[in-house]
Amino acid sequence: MSTTDLLARTLESVRAAYQHIAELAQHQDGIYAVAQTARGTALIHDLRKELDQLNKILPFKS
Protein backbone atom coordinates (compact mmCIF):
# COMPACT_ATOMS: atom_id res chain seq x y z
CA MET A 1 0.00 0.00 0.00
CA SER A 2 1.40 3.39 -0.97
CA THR A 3 1.81 6.23 1.49
CA THR A 4 -0.88 8.20 -0.36
CA ASP A 5 -3.36 5.32 -0.05
CA LEU A 6 -2.52 4.84 3.62
CA LEU A 7 -2.91 8.57 4.28
CA ALA A 8 -6.27 8.67 2.47
CA ARG A 9 -7.56 5.64 4.38
CA THR A 10 -6.39 7.04 7.70
CA LEU A 11 -7.89 10.47 7.05
CA GLU A 12 -11.22 8.87 6.14
CA SER A 13 -11.13 6.86 9.37
CA VAL A 14 -10.40 10.01 11.38
CA ARG A 15 -13.26 11.83 9.66
CA ALA A 16 -15.68 8.97 10.36
CA ALA A 17 -14.64 8.68 14.01
CA TYR A 18 -15.04 12.44 14.46
CA GLN A 19 -18.53 12.35 12.91
CA HIS A 20 -19.62 9.49 15.16
CA ILE A 21 -18.30 11.28 18.26
CA ALA A 22 -20.02 14.54 17.24
CA GLU A 23 -23.34 12.74 16.67
CA LEU A 24 -23.09 10.98 20.01
CA ALA A 25 -22.22 14.28 21.73
CA GLN A 26 -25.34 15.89 20.30
CA HIS A 27 -27.52 13.12 21.75
CA GLN A 28 -25.71 13.17 25.09
CA ASP A 29 -24.79 16.19 27.20
CA GLY A 30 -21.57 17.05 25.36
CA ILE A 31 -18.19 15.42 24.91
CA TYR A 32 -17.74 14.65 28.62
CA ALA A 33 -20.94 12.59 28.58
CA VAL A 34 -19.66 10.78 25.47
CA ALA A 35 -16.50 9.79 27.34
CA GLN A 36 -18.67 8.19 30.04
CA THR A 37 -20.32 5.75 27.60
CA ALA A 38 -18.77 2.52 26.34
CA ARG A 39 -19.42 3.47 22.70
CA GLY A 40 -17.98 6.95 23.23
CA THR A 41 -14.87 5.59 24.88
CA ALA A 42 -14.36 3.15 22.00
CA LEU A 43 -14.82 5.93 19.43
CA ILE A 44 -12.33 8.18 21.22
CA HIS A 45 -9.86 5.30 21.41
CA ASP A 46 -10.26 4.66 17.66
CA LEU A 47 -9.74 8.35 16.92
CA ARG A 48 -6.56 8.44 18.99
CA LYS A 49 -5.30 5.30 17.23
CA GLU A 50 -5.91 6.85 13.81
CA LEU A 51 -4.23 10.11 14.83
CA ASP A 52 -1.21 8.12 16.02
CA GLN A 53 -1.16 6.45 12.60
CA LEU A 54 -1.15 9.88 10.94
CA ASN A 55 1.84 10.88 13.06
CA LYS A 56 3.70 7.87 11.68
CA ILE A 57 2.78 8.64 8.06
CA LEU A 58 3.45 12.36 7.94
CA PRO A 59 7.10 13.22 7.35
CA PHE A 60 7.29 16.17 9.74
CA LYS A 61 6.94 16.80 13.42
CA SER A 62 5.83 19.98 15.16
State residue 62's pLDDT score. 58
Summarize pLDDT for 2-53 with one digit per residue, the tens: 778 888 888 888 888 888 888 888 887 787 777 788 888 888 888 888 888 8
Query: For residue 51, which of 17, 27, 22 has the smallest C-alpha distance?
Result: 17
Domain-located, residue 62: no
Domain that holds residue 49: 3-57
Question: What pTM does this model have?
Answer: 0.65
**Residue 61 binned pLDDT confidence (cut-offs 50, 70, 90):** low
Contact 16, 24 (CB under 8 A): no
Domain-located, residue 32: yes
Domain-located, residue 16: yes
State residue 6's pLDDT score. 81
Q: Domain total for the chain?
A: 1
